[in-house]
Amino acid sequence: MEAALLVKKLRSQFAGPFELNLGMGMCAAITGSSGSGKSLFLRMIADLDPNEGEVWLNERERASMSAPAWRKQVTYVSAESGWWTDKVIEHFAVNRRSEVAALAARLGLRVDLLDAPIAQLSTGEKQRFSLIRAVLPDPPVLLLDEPTGPLDEESVVRVEALLRERMATGASILLVTHDPNQAERLGNQRYRMAAGHLEMP
């Protein structure tokens, strides 16, 4: 199996060391209790927190790329979405409105929400829009932190379908989830995080 994302001796003062080998189009699902270091692990791979060790994407080492270039390819979606202007659509590239609308419809979001102020959105709506924001540029690796945490069952099904489709076209996903059933449904590899270390379940 060719590794799309390869993690070697990745550690920080709070968690690790981690080893991970994620194939192209594969999903590694990580479960574990709150505070065990799941989010920290994803943030370290995205280089959002200080860390040591190596991360490789398709045979290219992270250190050989600028941090923004790396994050464009290995994109982290946090459990709590962040927004920096008033309206939803202003967080997307201007020329991609129709694609955003199509994805929104697939995830069960009303299209008129595109022009709504962020403040009017529910947590679940914001979570789905932040996922759309991340998948739109088609990054080869997605680091998803509880992407369906605040969603109802029907929306979960829609999000999972979208993620499967992305995997079929070659995207690799590292998924943190509280739901063991979701880990089973999506994860080709499954891990448990305990006290800052990855374990096989």
Partner 1 sequence: MNPILLTPLDISIAASLIILDAALSIWLKLRLHRQIAIAATRMVVQLVAIGYVLRFIFSLNNPAVTLLLVVVMMLVAAREVAARPERRFRGHTNLVIGFVSVGFATFVTAILALTTAIRPQPWFDPHYAIPLAGIILGNVLNSASLSLDSFLGSVHRERQAIEARLSLGEAYRQAIAPLVREAIRRGLLPIINQMSAAGIVTLPGIMTGQILAGLDPLEAVKYQILLMFLLSGGSGLSALVVSYLAAWRLTDQRQRLRLDRLSSRS
**Residues engaged in binding partner 1 (CB under 8 A):** 46-50, 66-73, 75-78, 80-84, 130, 133-134, 137
Q: What is the closest distance, in whole angstroms, from the C-beta atom of residue 37 to partner 1 in the complex?
A: 16
Question: 41 or 192, CB closer to partner 1?
Answer: 41
Q: Compute CA 50 distance to the chain's CA centroid, rounded to the nearest angstrom.
A: 19
Spatial CA neighbour of 4 closest among 31, 28, 32: 28
Q: What is the closest distance, in whole angstroms, from the C-beta atom of residue 11 to partner 1 in the complex?
A: 16
Identify the DSSP state of 87: B
Q: Tell me if 159 sits within 8 A of 128, measured CB to CB.
A: yes
Question: 73 or 189, CB closer to partner 1?
Answer: 73
Question: 135 or 192, CB closer to partner 1?
Answer: 135
Question: 52 or 184, CB closer to partner 1?
Answer: 52
Q: What is the closest distance, in whole angstroms, from the C-beta atom of residue 135 to partner 1 in the complex?
A: 11
E strands present in 15-136:
18-23, 27-31, 52-57, 60-61, 74-77
